Chains A and B, each alone.
Chain A
Amino acid sequence: MAERGARPRVPAVRRRLLRAAGVFFTPLLPDDYLELIDPLWSSRELRGRIESITRETADAVTVTIRPGWVWEGHEPGQYLRVGVVVDGVHHWRAYSITSDPGRPDGFISITPKLVETGKVTPYLVRHAHPGTIVRLGGVEGSFTLPDPLPRKLLFISAGSGVTPIMSMLRDLARRDALRDVVHAHSARDAQAVIFGDRLRALTGRHSGYRLHVQHTGESGRLGPHDLDRLCPDWREREAFLSGPGDMLDAMTAHWEGHGDRSRLHLERFQPVIGGDAQGGEGGAISFLTSGAEAHSDGGTPILVAGEQAGAALPFGCRMGICHTCVGRLCSGRVRDLRTGKVSGSEGEMVRTCINAPEGRVEIDL
């Protein structure tokens, strides 16, 4: 089974009508026909139409999307899974939502930056055009502003890490809550600053928003050593950090050693899954439907072990978000590779992409 978009909240009357009309279309659904008129009318998955694509920097664009059904909203800082068709194949990727949830037109936007070796960003940056239909998956992520808002905030971002923070800043600006906010951002040079104009415009309108942009080409990367200079009271602030992994690691260590780790919030684009064979005991995996037998060393997800053994298994995001890969656990226990938590009871649906076997397991896949 391939990954689907989120289930839209369709008015109950309409859903009942569609179900009643089903008798004329079985085994298909009325949706199968209605979608030929307008793909956005699908009541089984949320889709969107690209309204505009605007260039932010040489290699980043903002894609503005009209959702097919009323946007149910997101919290600033969260990300969205977006499905696009590239050369005939559906691909799904997660992107931080850069728009403010309170946008009056109900549109949403994402701001992908080109990854030359990737499949999806080259498509979005170079080939997608207004009118293109995309699939919209679930909104996820816990990198969000606390409620009630802290009195003092610190944002640290690097490169395209600014995208979730842009959504937060827009939300704060709309609520007139940019009261005491320090934002340190770094990018290669002036041309590479995504949202550069908008960030500067915010400093003009909101005196409580202080922006420092560092060009790594001249001054090097932002690191813990810059904190005391840029924001002497960083220990007293609720800090939000978004950027490449080594920056996150360095800052986390700094907060642990010299500050209050609980006040540091961060966004890792790729959760660290697998690769740690010491983590668990691993075990043999029996795939009951396909008949495949595999083995995991304890650091390898069930999905990967199965694929290495030649089984064709359902997969999606490979990071525990989309639930495409779930299989029924018929016996045994599994360990969540993100948290190390061991769980499992018979009949439980487990995500094979983030779980490794803890001893022998049987999965109905």
Chain B
Amino acid sequence: MDTMIETPLARLSDDQLDDLARELDAIHDEVFAELGDRDRRYITSMIELHRRLAVLGRVLLFGARYKPAWVAGTATLTMAKILENMEIGHNVMHGQWDWMNDPYIHSSSWDWDSASTPEAWKHSHNYIHHTYTNIRGKDKDLGYKIMRIDPHQKWVPIYLGQPFYNVLLMAFFEWGVAFHDLDLDAIRKGEKPKKALERELKGMARKAGRQIAKDYIAYPLLSGRKGFKSTLTANFASNVLRNVWAHAIIFCGHFPDQTYTFGEDEVADETRGRFYVRQLLGAANIEGSPLFHVISGNLGYQVEHHLYPDMPSTRYAEIAPQVKEICERYELPYNTGPFLKQWATVQRTILRLALPGGRPRPKPGPYRRDATQGADPAWHPESPERRRRGAAASGPARAAGGVRTALPADP
């Protein structure tokens, strides 16, 4: 398929890309060299907080037939489920905490409060999505195979329905993800052995059975005959609210206007430097308070997460200034925006691309720090930072006259 927009990838020389890779590798190595007690304390206290909230929420919901208890219990349980999925489950299963060598906080043993089995999710997310990020036809998270989220995707009439099933997907996101992880497409094409499918379906059925038994049978029964229904509706509401939140955050990761998608020809024989640039261009951050970042599993630092999926999530905020500085020097965009704005652009795209046609939205230009901060010599091409991280190629990254992409109109 023809590419409708050229990416900044075309502008960087091989030497510059090698430098970029060295610099970004160095940030990773520096963080991993200093991981320690502080990081362990964070994740263990986060896990503890989740369990306390879960217990509190469940206890409150024993009285769910009284309105205030229903509201307080649902809110607490929702928060517990959000932390468990976003800041704990997603990140532990990425292997972000494997360095602790803790058998119980480890990507190989973790399971989460979601319909997906860890094995299927780790394959479709950690491997397929994080490796082939935003490559059209390879990244199956690009529209999740059921939506047209990129104008390069061929339109078919079924997409007329996407504004409606998007709303359904919001509410039942965990089930959508679970079916998505099965990779029904590969099954249809016969790429997946029948035995593997059988095993995965069995695993999913077992997992689904337990999840349903817990939220919709066991806890409602504990609330007694009179409390059964209200506890059940509260648990249902918690799951739906968690799903809506997860859907919103995850859709803001790759589908806002700022992000690029890539054709397979653009990524043939990809070097480490080009891989990093693709991750930078394909992801978008969300701006928010520290609390916002915790309850979104630090996926508001989607850019940093895609550069370093195995780095403990708490470190993303700390390295963000260094990543921005690199973007500035190499004249690369650093995609970010406030939550509601990012979310709205995603929803607009879903509505627009339900119809045929469409063009890529204008993309941001190279990242520039606020002029009010004044010129900081840190990003000078000869900066000690750059030398320390092993950038060696001659010539500054700030070459003028490169291909410029259109800046979005000021709002």
B214 touches A26 (CB 8 A): yes
* A56 contacts B by Cβ under 8 Å: no
* B39 contacts A by Cβ under 8 Å: yes
Please report the C-alpha to C-alpha distance between residue A33 and residue B55 in the assembled complex, in whole angstroms. 9
A32 touches B214 (CB 8 A): no
Please report the C-alpha to C-alpha distance between residue A90 and residue B105 in the assembled complex, in whole angstroms. 11
Question: Which stretch from B70-78, B96-104, B185-193, B250-258 is at the chain A interface?
Answer: B96-104
A45 contacts which chain B residues (CB < 8 A)? Answer: 103
In residues 256-302 of chain B, which contact A (Cβ within 8 Å)?
none
Please report the C-alpha to C-alpha distance between residue A351 and residue B106 in the assembled complex, in whole angstroms. 20
Contact of A88 among B35, B58, B109, B112 (CB under 8 A): B35
Chain A nearest Cβ from B85, distance in angstroms: 12
Contact of A90 among B35, B100, B113, B207 (CB under 8 A): B100
B113 touches A33 (CB 8 A): no
A1 touches B207 (CB 8 A): no
A88 contacts which chain B residues (CB < 8 A)? Answer: 35-41, 99-100
* A17 contacts B by Cβ under 8 Å: no
A89 touches B101 (CB 8 A): yes
Q: Mark A86-98, 1 if CB is under 8 A from B, else 0.
A: 0111110000000
Please report the C-alpha to C-alpha distance between residue A2 and residue B98 in the assembled complex, in whole angstroms. 8
Chain B nearest Cβ from A37, distance in angstroms: 11
A1 touches B36 (CB 8 A): no
B51 contacts which chain A residues (CB < 8 A)? Answer: 28, 32-33, 36
B103 touches A87 (CB 8 A): no
B39 touches A36 (CB 8 A): no
* A264 contacts B by Cβ under 8 Å: no
Contact of B101 among A25, A36, A90 (CB under 8 A): A90
Contact of A1 among B35, B103, B112, B218 (CB under 8 A): B103
B15 contacts which chain A residues (CB < 8 A)? Answer: none
* A23 contacts B by Cβ under 8 Å: yes
* A211 contacts B by Cβ under 8 Å: no
Q: Mark B16-47, 1 if CB is under 8 A from A, else 0.
A: 00000000000000000001111111000000
* A140 contacts B by Cβ under 8 Å: no
A104 contacts which chain B residues (CB < 8 A)? Answer: none
Chain A nearest Cβ from B25, distance in angstroms: 14
Question: With A23-B218, A24-B218 known to touch, is A87 a contact of B113 (CB < 8 Å)?
Answer: no
B98 contacts which chain A residues (CB < 8 A)? Answer: 2
B210 touches A26 (CB 8 A): yes
Q: Which residues does B use to contact A, with CB under 8 Å?
A: 35-41, 48, 51-52, 55, 58, 98-104, 106, 108-109, 111-113, 207, 210-211, 213-214, 218-219, 222
Given contacts A1-B108, A24-B222, 15 further A-B contacts (CB under 8 A): A1-B109, A3-B103, A23-B214, A23-B218, A24-B219, A25-B214, A27-B211, A28-B111, A32-B104, A45-B103, A85-B100, A87-B37, A88-B38, A90-B100, A314-B108
